[in-house]
Amino acid sequence: MILRRIKAHVEKENWFAVFLDFCIVVVGVFFGLQVQAWAEEKDRERQEAIYALRLHDEVTELQSVRQPLLALRERIVDNLFSARPLLYSETDRTLTEEECDSLALSAILTNPTDDIATLIELQQTGGLRSFRNENVLSAVRDFLLTRARARDVLEGSVRAVRPLVHDYPALMQIAPDKDPSDRFSGLIVCDLSAMRQDIDFMNTLSWNAAAYQEHVQSNRRVSESLEGLHQALDAFIDKPHEIGLEE
């Protein structure tokens, strides 16, 4: 329609009408592009809001799931370092049941769950481009990097530690009347006097304790970065509240 009009005006050499028709076309195209851009931005904002809400809920759930294992690992590393001095000096105190059990647990290393389903989806589909909030994007990048470092630490720690119960059966024995799944219940019987006489055992324990501590610290950093992501999402969706990681 508009092209026929322009052609007719050209044939009549009505240049003013041609100019008006041309302006109408340009303005129409401009407004059409603006409407399309507005619609695309609205769709992006909608996707951003949906993903932010999903991420928030999954981060909150992940923090809750990780907490029990993190607390257990913190207890174990504390017990390892409270037990070590007893091996190097004669004292009236002996190993507690919890300290003895922790020696056996020092070779069991796994990272607490650290995957987020929505974040995996965003990475695979390129959906992170939907986000314009720099605080959220920065928190996501920090979490991914910190998590990758923790996984590297785990790989090194697993290679470093040795299973003390398996390697030193004369010094540590599993109590026959205990359930192996019941931690800190006197599961292991430790011969402290014999441990003090075995330099190889003490060196191995020190090595295990150092590797275990580094593993715990790296996961602590993951939890801190996860909390940073949680706070960034809280601020973005205007849903402030406290998770409160247990000490």
Q: What is the mean pLDDT of residues 17-40?
A: 58
Neighbours of 60 (CB within 10 A): 16
Kindly report, residue by residue over 56-108, the tens digit of the pLDDT: 999 999 999 999 999 999 999 999 999 988 888 877 788 999 999 999 999 98
Going from N- to C-terminal start, the domains of the chain cover 45-237
Q: What is the pLDDT of residue 93?
A: 85
Where is average pLDDT lowest: 99-103, 141-145, 178-182, 209-213? 178-182
Q: What is the mean pLDDT of residues 105-116?
A: 89
| Residue 131, token pair as written in the block | 């986000």
Residue 35 pLDDT exceeds 60: no
pTM, to two decimals? 0.76
- Rounded to whole angstroms, how far apart are CA atoms 55 and 51? 6
Kindly report, residue by residue over 119-164, the tens digit of the pLDDT: 999 888 888 888 888 999 999 999 999 999 999 999 988 988 999 9
**Phi, psi angles (nearest 5°) of residue 10:** -65, -45
Q: What is the pLDDT of residue 243?
A: 41
Closest CA to 205 of 158, 156, 153, 161: 161
Quote the mean pLDDT of the chain.
82
More confident residue, 20 or 155: 155
Which residues are CB-neighbours of 128 under 8 A, at least 6 positions away?
Answer: 122, 137, 140
| Surface-to-core class of residue 146, CB atoms within 10 Å of its CB (0-12 exposed, 13-18 middle, 19+ buried) | buried
Q: What is the pLDDT of residue 242?
A: 44
Q: What is the pLDDT of residue 139?
A: 95
Let me know: does 180 contact 174? Beta carbons within 8 Å: yes
Q: What is the mean pLDDT of residues 179-203?
A: 84
Where is average pLDDT lowest: 23-27, 166-170, 181-185, 226-230? 23-27
Q: What is the mean pLDDT of residues 210-214?
A: 93
- Percent of the chain past pLDDT 70, that is, above it, reads 75
Most confident of 11-15, 32-36, 40-44, 56-60: 56-60
Q: What is the pLDDT of residue 183?
A: 65
Residue 112 pLDDT exceeds 90: no
- Bridge partners of 188, per DSSP, are 174
Q: What is the pLDDT of residue 245?
A: 39
Q: What is the pLDDT of residue 244?
A: 40
